[in-house]
Structure 1
């Protein structure tokens, strides 16, 4: 299945719509990845070429189960059509996918993160039949922690000093959601 053929039109969402990332989304993707507020718990500052080559371009490739790159979807408000961020997942092993999302600062705290996460949960479990979804959050990112828990994830553990960020090793919080816990 090619990326443009992904059944994202099957995602039923109250306020959001989704489409595959494309070349014209570079300004949105770059803006998210250079915004220090957005990237506080995700990445140290990166130059534009690194963002394009290592994070944007791989996500443009066609996606299907088994791919080693992220399925990346642009999230837009239904009423305005304004792109508000990106979401998606990456297959980590047979039957297990890691989910993630990044929202523009002005759209944070409005329930869009939780809504998009619930939509991705349903999409990944019903269309790709994963048995478990996981998420990794740098410790201290309470907003993402609350969002994951509100969407049904359980915090399964902590990997101590697992991620190098801001000049020191940070703990990672691990979250998981089993298919049978969702009803899908």
Structure 2
């Protein structure tokens, strides 16, 4: 299972000891505002447990990496990707409020993209962001993702139907944007 290292961060596979941080992240209304409505702890635990098995490129479950500061080992968020097809994957990320706006998301997402394109056999990465989540949109665009469309009434969140912004990034485009 990969460990990704950047100048400020270390991104390590999720382990059982990360449960308190994962739970806190998933229960934070500010973090989950554009992701999903409040869920019972048992549902969050199921999501956590599904990300614990050993992962390798092509696995059917998420590569979930805990993003930490290298110096202090403070957990900041989670990032990773999942293979949707043999050579296509979807990226995702969540960061604690105190870690947002400091470039940690960008730094860790670049590391995930680099890994997916060089080691993971990925040709194309995608991301779906709830319309209105401008911070995540900007992060994806800074990484090189292009908004390719919008799905209307994609899912129910916050008592109403929400649209999804759809993003894509090809391996060759990522190399060009770097």
Q: TM-score range by the shorter chain?
A: over 0.9
For 2:6, which of 5, 13, 33 is the aligned residue? 13
For 1:173, which of 147, 165, 174 is the aligned residue? 165
Scaled by the length of structure 1, the TM-score of the pair is 0.93
Aligned residue number for residue 124 of structure 2: 132
**2:77–2:94 CA contact under 8 A, matched in 1:** yes
For 1:36, which of 9, 29, 48 is the aligned residue? 29
CA deviation string 1:89-120 (max 9, x = no partner): 01111210000111110000111111111111
For 2:59, which of 64, 67, 86 is the aligned residue? 67
Say which SS state the counterpart of residue 183 (structure 1) adopts.
helix
Query: Aligned partners of 1:56, 1:12: CA distance in 2, in Å?
Result: 23
Scaled by the length of structure 2, the TM-score of the pair is 0.96
Displacement of 1:80 in angstroms is: 1.2
Say which SS state the counterpart of residue 60 (structure 1) adopts.
coil
Gaps of 5+ in 1: 1-5
Displacement of 1:66 in angstroms is: 2.8
Moved over 2 A (4+): 64-68
CA deviation string 1:29-66 (max 9, x = no partner): 0000000000000010001111102x100000121233
Displacement of 1:163 in angstroms is: 1.4
Query: Aligned partners of 2:101, 2:109: CA distance in 1, in Å?
Result: 14
**2:2–2:13 CA contact under 8 A, matched in 1:** no
Say which SS state the counterpart of residue 43 (structure 1) adopts.
coil
For 1:49, which of 42, 49, 53 is the aligned residue? 42
Gaps of 5+ in 2: none
**RMSD of Structure 2 on Structure 1 (CA):** 1.1
